[in-house]
Amino acid sequence: MYEMRLSGSGGQGLILGGIILAEAALLDGKLAIQSQSYGPEARGGSSKSEVLISDKVIHFPKVTKPDLVLAMTQEALVKYSGDLSADKILIIDTTFVKDVPEKFTNVYRFPITEIAQKELGKTLFANIVALGAIAALTKIVSVEAITKAVLARVPAGTEDVNKRALEAGMSLIIK
């Protein structure tokens, strides 16, 4: 079982990101559960998406011991990384996260939102950049599956830029 928590603020597309990850796992023939939680604000409030991926039956639908936490904001890091073991994977968006507790020893620091803005023209692609980094780092889903899942979920006419966003995220890991 691999447990992930994607966290940030409302409007960053992390709920969609979790759905895409779960769908990619299903395309790879694995089992997956995705759940979500967000504050009452439509944009700007806390947001998290949890994804469990397994080859075996998943008996409990919530993340209990995350293997990976993505923190796209400082508030999300504080709020959602408390149960992350020091040696598990923490990915932070350095565009918004500046202070990482010293206890974490396996931290990947990327300017995810900045990359989305500079390379793709809009910050709204940051979630897809993050998915590319997660897929390349964990190899929990195949490149083919994550690409197919992304392209199935994005608005018509944005397929090419979303594919470039996914590749930009993967290139952070695969150099």
Give per-residue pLDDT as tens, 17-34: 999 999 999 999 999 999
- Which domain covers residue 29, as residue numbers? 2-173
| Residue-level pLDDT at 10 | 87
User: Taking Cα atoms as reference points, which of 140, 73, 77 lies closest to residue 104?
Assistant: 77
| pTM of structure | 0.94
Rg of the Cα trace of the chain?
15
Q: How confident is the model at residue 41 (pLDDT cuts 50, 70, 90)?
A: low
- We report the CATH number of the domain holding residue 152 as 3.40.920.10
* Digit-coded pLDDT (tens) for 105-141: 999 999 999 999 999 999 999 999 999 999 999 999 9
Counting the structural domains of the chain, the total is: 1
Helices and strands: H and E segment counts in the chain = 6, 6
Sign of CA dihedral 65, 91, 36, 50: negative
